[in-house]
Structure 1
Amino acid sequence: MIYYYDLLNIFELNGLPSEDNPYLFNGDFVDRGSFSVEVILTLFAFKCMSPSVRSKLSEIFVELFAEVFCCLPLAHVINEKVFVVHGGLFSVDGVKLSDIRAIDRFCEPPEEGLMCEVLWSDPQPQPGRGPSKRGVGLSFGGDVTKKFLQENNLDLVVRSHEVKDEGFEIEHDGKLITVFSAPNYCDQMGNKGAFIRFEAPDMKPNIVTFAAVPHPDVKPMAYANNFLRLFS
């Protein structure tokens, strides 16, 4: 999750994206802020650079965005050590990276299965697995994280998906980090934002936190009614 003016602030703090300064954005590019279009178009513009209206979106733009989102990766592995995923881990043991690569990504996410879980699951403090507070995906404990990392020869899980007061939270004996890059979520939570820098070769996570920056007085979800009307 990130807002446009906070995205610009991250670039001020950490430099613009480039071949020498790559970024990995971990989902929730849109949906909660009234500058979501600016966020996703900025990210798309940087991606392309390296290799009087009443509504922000026309129907064709909505369809194009939906099509592009169905092509975005489900997960990343950085330097064969860090597993980056938006939501979390799985309802069964033994899931390998090859299983994730084998998922047919080019579709809307289903309501169950590996794709659903990787997008919607959340960590829990107790071991084992439990029902999801969201009604989709699941909650998973530190033992699940440890086993997944061991079976795939990885060191760390990085995920997002949940607002955190300090912009991040380290759980599961240091094997899982939640990072959330939208400070003052929905203009009311008062939380910090954060991003993580990884320095090769040891890939030790350096967590940078930041506060919200001012933005024009447009409330979160201000354009939602116009957007939803396109689907009616």
Structure 2
Amino acid sequence: MIDDFRNQKCLHKRYAYQIVLQTREILRSMPSLVDVTVPNGSKFTVCGDVHGQLFDLLNIFELNGLPSEDNPYLFNGDFVDRGSFSLEVILTLFAFKCMYPSAMYLSRGNHESKSMNKIYGFEGEVKSKLNDSFVELFAEVFCCLPLAHVINDKVFIVHGGLFSVDGVKLSDIRAIDRFCEPPEEGLMCELLWSDPQPQRGRGPSKRGVGLSFGEDVTKRFLQENNLDLVVRSHEVKDDGYEITHDGKLITVFSAPNYCDQMGNKGAYIRFKAPELKPDIVSFSAVPHPDVKPMAYANNFLRMFA
């Protein structure tokens, strides 16, 4: 399948349908907050946004090995939109989820939603490469994606960030009924949309959704939940990552040369148990076929792309 994707061939609808339906069943049975156990001596890789950049995703697998029971991955949301190989990316990740359910973890990002997919290209791409009924099916499966993960009770991983109120416990995240489109406010919205800020306290979000949260908010959340580190994605960074909040928060972003114009590197983080010290690997973009980003996006946006 991956070889076909490299050669810009489409997967037959029948097989795409089987992969997506099987993934839906697996995801549906998972909690909103997933506990991941990494045995001593084993490693675990966390990747950030991929945004439909298939050839950079395949490069991660070249550099760090294919997902397997001995080489598990977590992809931290925003698999689709902007990049024009979003369908191939999501089918690749979903196929690995079906093959090795405990070696491919997937978190929901703010782009795993109907409203974003309508604007930023995934909906148009699915209609072009498969058909309209798949649009609804993907929207349904995206509503089954877990919202956050915790590795070995120590590392909290979420797409966006933390909360507008103090005192949020992991049990509160576990209790979220996630099977819906993301709301405009509340815990689920903030998990998907929030960003860190350099100053203490909280502030309004530059995105108009979620909030900005400071180092004190991060440290308090970690302390109250007996955790060591927050890993999140959601923002492009020059080196593919950024360490802030006194080393307690790492942003990781895995779409290098984002939208073919940002010139940034991508990165992923390797954790090895029991220490779980983050080992961050940066990488550069690789060539891809001449299909522009946002090729399937809403026409209005394409004028500005």
User: Please, what TM-score do these two structures have when normalized by structure 1?
Assistant: 0.95
1:96 to 169, 190, 194: 169
Identity %, equivalent residues: 88
Given the alignment, which residue of 62, 77, 90 partners 1:27?
A: 77
Residues 36-60 of structure 1, C-alpha deviation per residue, up to 9 Å, x if partnerless? 0000000000011114x99113111
The answer on 1:160 being equivalent to 2:233 is yes
Aligned partners of 2:127 and 2:135 also within 8 Å:
no
Alignment pair present for 1:190 and 2:190: no
What is the distance in 2 between the residues matched to 1:161 and 1:197?
A: 18
Alignment of 1:1-232 (within 5 A): 1-2=49-50, 3-51=53-101, 55-225=128-298
**In 1: Cα distance, 2:160 partner to 2:82 partner:** 17
CA distance in 1, matches of 2:69, 2:225: 28
Q: Does the Cα contact within 8 Å between 2:82 and 2:297 map onto a contact in 1? A: no
Distance in 2, Cα, partners of 1:18 & 1:180: 22
The farther-off stretch of 100-109 and 216-225 is 216-225
CA contact (8 A) 2:229 2:248 kept: yes
Secondary structure of the corresponding residue to residue 128 of structure 2: coil
Residue deviations 1:84-111 (CA, integer Å, cap 9, x gap):
0000000000000000000001111100
Asked whether the equivalents of residues 84 and 294 of structure 2 are also in contact (C-alpha less than 8 Å), the reply is yes
Higher RCO, Cα 8 Å, sep 6+: 2
What residue identity is the alignment partner of 1:137? G
Higher helix share: 2
User: How many pairs were matched up?
Assistant: 226
Unpaired segments ≥5 residues, structure 1: none
Change (3 A) 1:21 1:54: closer
Aligned CA distance change for structure 1 residues 81 and 54 (closer, same or farther; 3 Å):
closer
AA aligned to 2:189 is: C
- Output the CA distance in 2 between the equivalents of 1:98 and 1:35: 36
Letter aligned with residue 181 of structure 1: S
Partner of 2:112: none
- 2:54, 2:89 within 8 Å by CA — same for their partners in 1? yes
RMSD, aligned α-carbons:
1.4
- Contact 2:241–2:250 (Cα < 8 Å) also in 1: yes
